[in-house]
Amino acid sequence: MTSILKKAYDPDDFRKRGHRLIDDLADHLERTLEEKSKNTTSWNPPEKEHVFWKEFLQSGDEGQFFKEVLNHTIHLHHPKYMGHQASPTAPITALSSMVGALLNNGMAVYEMGMAPTMIEKIITDLLCAKIGFGPDASGFLTSGGTLANLTALLTARKASASYDVWNEGNSKSLGIIVSEEAHYCVDRAAKIMGLGSQGVIKIPSNAMFSMDTSLLESYYNEALAKNIEIFAVVGSAPSTATGIYDDLEALADFSERHNLWFHVDGAHGGAALFSEKYKHTLKGMDRADSMVIDGHKMMMMPMITTALLFKKEQNSYATFSQKADYLLEQSAEKDWYNSGRRTFECTKTMMCLSWYILHKTYGEELFDAFVTTLYDLGLTFGDMVKEDPQFELAVAPMSNIVCFRYKDAHLDNVETDKINLGIRKTLLEESEYYIVQTKLRGRSYLRVTLMNPFTTRKHLTSLLSRIKELAKISQT
């Protein structure tokens, strides 16, 4: 063996680096959670950031690499992080991720991942039971909500379409029904599947930005008149832009009436099933045929891990019907322990370790506390915005996502949009607060997603004050 290989695999070197890194990460947690550092990040324009890392590769101190990564990234554990739907990870999951990375067990077949395969089954069975699915339910973990939703819709097509598209190819127009406020990945999945724009039947939302279920029958009949065969209905739990849940019970009723597959995209809000206070937002989820829940959004896990759960286990085995004799043996019995039959991935990370260790160490109480704390905070922030005459609330929040904007009676919509976009840009460059933006019915809004349970009303009050200061500056 060459010396460079011995050096790369040296246990003592790993031990020294690991101890030093754990100390650095613990210091980072202390600085961010306790706000010893004022800012959520140190903003750098793309061009300058590219130059920095290019130069670092050539001449930077290798021993400072991890510290520089910390210096050049957004700190989700900071209470002023209120941006995208990414969780400030529970520190223990950094350890479970490290174990998975070092062991590097693939999981398409049981013999390549004995422990993680069984751990994953236990977790997905637990989630199925929590949803309210019966004894025939099953699921698996996969790499993100986009892939999970695509897989679910492929399963729906296999189970509900009038012919086998997977093996026979497209011979007629197929379609799905979804809210116009649904996550873009649903539209993307439909296009990947060859449904085309005409095959994505988008139902307008009501004043609350929830799917207007009173329009379902008319849109469904209109699609049939165009010879589009509908095979699935997708409910958002909640929509990404607004955090508003669709009426899952109404969608379940409609799906049952027309014998359609009912899928719930609960990537963000599916974790509310653990909250005694907010699980009512998911009423009707037990009637779904499939459901998606992200671990890396509202369950404190590292990116990227998503549970895809099926009411009827047998449907998940029909999704990808093909032979791979070198990998998967044909057997008389359903070999449930070989997950490669049901997923896109032949190789996937040991993502189940984070789900399992959180359950084992803290129990379901942790997820209840996390979701409930953040949803409470979202409703509180909604009230704060509503009570301030200098702000406009897009919709009363149902979750930890709040859309609002600064307003001035003397400004028209175009000017108001411009000011709010400028406010967000300045906040990003200042780096103290991190929030994002969205467009709702053609108008620009600031969008806050409260992901950090250490965020308080004090932080939100300070944010609103800074926004008003920036608005005044922009008008002078």
Range with the poorest average pLDDT among 29-33, 215-219, 373-377, 407-411: 407-411
Residue 336 is assigned to a structural domain of this protein: yes
CATH number of the domain encompassing residue 466 = 3.90.1150.10
Last residue of a domain, one of 328, 361, 394: 361
Are residues 465 and 378 part of one domain?
Answer: yes
| Domain housing 158 | 105-361
The predicted structure's pLDDT at residue 64: 95
The predicted structure's pLDDT at residue 336: 76
- Residue-wise pLDDT for 42-78, tens only, equals 999 999 999 999 999 999 999 999 999 999 999 999 9
Query: Which 8-state DSSP code applies to residue 434?
Result: B
- In sequence order, what DSSP letters do the residues of 298-312 get, joined into one string? HS---S--EEEEESS
Are residues 232 and 143 part of one domain?
Answer: yes
Residue 80 is assigned to a structural domain of this protein: no
138: three-class secondary structure by DSSP: strand
Are residues 170 and 298 part of one domain?
Answer: yes
State the average pLDDT over residues 94-104: 96
State the average pLDDT over residues 202-212: 96
Residue 334: band (very low, low, confident or very high) from pLDDT cuts 50, 70, 90: low
- Residue-wise pLDDT for 401-437, tens only, equals 999 999 998 899 999 999 999 999 999 999 999 999 9
Position of tokens 């699921």? 139
Residue 190: band (very low, low, confident or very high) from pLDDT cuts 50, 70, 90: confident
Residue 329 is assigned to a structural domain of this protein: yes
Are residues 455 and 395 part of one domain?
Answer: yes
What is the DSSP pairing of strand 436-440 with strand 443-449? Answer: antiparallel
The predicted structure's pLDDT at residue 321: 65
Q: Is the pLDDT of residue 178 over 80?
A: yes
- CB neighbours of residue 276 within 10 Å: 9
Number of domains in the chain: 2
Query: For residues 1 and 7, what is the distance between their CA atoms, to the nearest angstrom?
Result: 10
Are residues 260 and 122 part of one domain?
Answer: yes
Q: Is the pLDDT of residue 331 over 80?
A: no
Query: For residues 268 and 272, what is the distance between their CA atoms, to the nearest angstrom?
Result: 9
Position of tokens 């004050």? 465
CATH number of the domain encompassing residue 320 = 3.40.640.10
Residue 355 has phi, psi (to 5 degrees) of -60, -45
Residue 85 is assigned to a structural domain of this protein: no
Last residue of a domain, one of 297, 328, 361: 361
Range with the poorest average pLDDT among 274-288, 294-308, 320-334, 461-475: 320-334
Residue 244 is assigned to a structural domain of this protein: yes
For residues 269 and 242, the answer to whether their CB atoms sit within 8 Å is no
Query: For residues 339 and 203, what is the distance between their CA atoms, to the nearest angstrom?
Result: 35
Are residues 380 and 353 part of one domain?
Answer: no
Last residue of a domain, one of 333, 361, 389: 361
Are residues 205 and 282 part of one domain?
Answer: yes
Nearest alpha-carbon partner for 319 in 152, 170, 455, 171 = 152
Q: Is the pLDDT of residue 322 over 90?
A: no
Are residues 386 and 404 part of one domain?
Answer: yes
- Residue-wise pLDDT for 289-321, tens only, equals 999 999 999 999 999 999 999 999 988 888 876
Are residues 143 and 128 part of one domain?
Answer: yes
Are residues 267 and 131 part of one domain?
Answer: yes
Residue 272 is assigned to a structural domain of this protein: yes
Are residues 297 and 170 part of one domain?
Answer: yes
Position of tokens 């250490």? 454
What rounded mean pLDDT belongs to the chain?
93
Which helix (H) or strand (E) covers residue 23, if one does? helix 11-33
Enumerate the H helices of 277-402 as residue ranges. Answer: 295-298, 313-318, 352-362, 364-387
Are residues 356 and 404 part of one domain?
Answer: no
Percent residues over pLDDT 90 in the chain: 84
